[in-house]
Amino acid sequence: MLDIELIRKKPDWVKERLKTRGEEYPPLVDNVLILDEERRSLIRELEGLRSERNRISKEIGSMKKQGADTTALEVQMKKLKERIEELEHKLSIVERDHKNLMLRIPNLPHSSVPVGEDEKDNVEVRRWGIPKEFGFEPKPHWEIGERLGILDFERGVKLSGSRFTVLKGMGAKLERALINFMLDMHAKKGYVEVLPPHLVKPQVLEGTGQLPKFEEELYKCERDELYLIPTAEVPLTNLFRDEILREDQLPIYLTSYTPCYRREAGAYGKDIRGIIRQHQFNKVELVKIVKPEDSYRELEGLTSDAEDILKALELPYRVVLLCTGDMGFSSAKTYDIEVWFPSQGRYREVSSCSNCEDFQARRMNTRYKDQKGRNIYVHTLNGSALAIGRTLAAILENYQREDGSVIVPHALRDYLKADIIKPE
């Protein structure tokens, strides 16, 4: 959520920044300001009426002690009470509408973010590794997985429908090995491992920005008013909602493995084959909660921590700075890490690392008390490190051999207790 004081003081600047994300956002600022002024006007009127009510109440009490007639004042008091109740009801509606509008305005892009409409305007920052040249036509991961007997797409569809896959044998073991490998690497860098609930309350998703805008992307348990998490970012970041942290608690580094659940409502026709875009997938997430002055340095560190996983797995990748039109709703700045897929001859996203500044903290009311006793909103950061299924797919493609087998990366051999994956 944006700072309402910033919107009041610099509305044109805020609208200009929002315009870089899409034309639909600047009009929301005007509507917010209209409701904000109505809200403040109602509050001023209510404060005046409540003060008058208190004055008359005291006068009635004094007159009754003296035995004086208070009928006229009591009639006036009744009218005041009715007017106050009327205005309180109106204020509750205005405040609800004001909050709903504020929740639909995305974060402002950082000044270093390139202005653009979509992924074609993203800017490559760096590359690591050299894509391998094969002496044969590299196969896509779904063909490799089916031939090895480790990916079962037909039974996934039989159990749950499209965009679900069953991993078997060495496929399931490779998935588990990747999870443990990533968690162990992050623990060595000071991240505290957390195992959170997979079902969360609506206000938790509101805190990180998935609600109300992206409800169609979420799986909801109607009876219990709970949602399946789309990413561990949601419960991890919300661990400190409505809390005031001590300054010496910061920075906080958290990591978590969870399944993630997404309806992929806007992904019809995209990545139909394989395990790139699934309704249920595993992911290791990183979350940082830090002081504002440290957050952009921490973003570079978080991105580097995600990159180190790919370096250890010896998978070629590149880092891309997202443009304003391609960034997530809550982010002020995002780096995507894209891993090389030989069968497609291109890089595909395997991680997004974002600094949300105080956008999520304001929605969650998460602050820390500084040395001067001031309560300051924290900055929150998050990043995939990494999406397990996509990493597994990249391993199958980059380490495939002509006979259909797949070499196990050195970093995973102790976890997997194998050097090569052969057909089962």
Catalytic status, residue 92:
no
Active-site hit among 352, 354, 384, 397: 352
Which of the following is catalytic: 8, 53, 263, 277? 277
Residue 332 token pair: 């002020």
d(CA 81, CA 53): 8
Dihedral, CA atoms, 163, 168, 171, 177, nearest 10 degrees? 110
Identified catalytic residue from 362, 363, 367, 390: 390
Which of 377, 331, 362, 295 minimizes the C-alpha distance to 1?
Answer: 362
**E-state strands within 76-129:** 123-128
126 classed as catalytic: no
Please indicate whether residue 124 is annotated as part of the active site. no
Would you report the helix, strand and coil content of the chain in percent, each value rounded to 5? 45, 20, 35
143 is catalytic: no
Active-site pick, 39, 163, 262, 367: 262
Q: How far apart are CA 140 and CA 398, in angstroms?
A: 10
What is the helix (H) or strand (E) element at residue 359, kind and residue range? helix 359-364
- The yes-or-no answer on residue 346 being catalytic is no
Residue 107 structure tokens: 């974060």
Q: Does residue 346 contact residue 263 with C-beta atoms inside 8 Å?
A: no
Tell me the C-alpha distance between 410 and 6, whole Å: 51
Residue 48, Cβ density class (10 Å: 0-12 exposed, 13-18 middle, ≥19 buried): exposed
Bridge partners, 302 (sequence order): none
Burial 142-159 (b: 16+ CB within 10 A, else e): bbbbebbebbbbeebeee
End-to-end CA distance of the chain: 52
Q: Is residue 60 within 8 Å of residue 70, measured between CB atoms?
A: yes
Residues acting as catalytic residues: 262, 277, 349, 352, 390
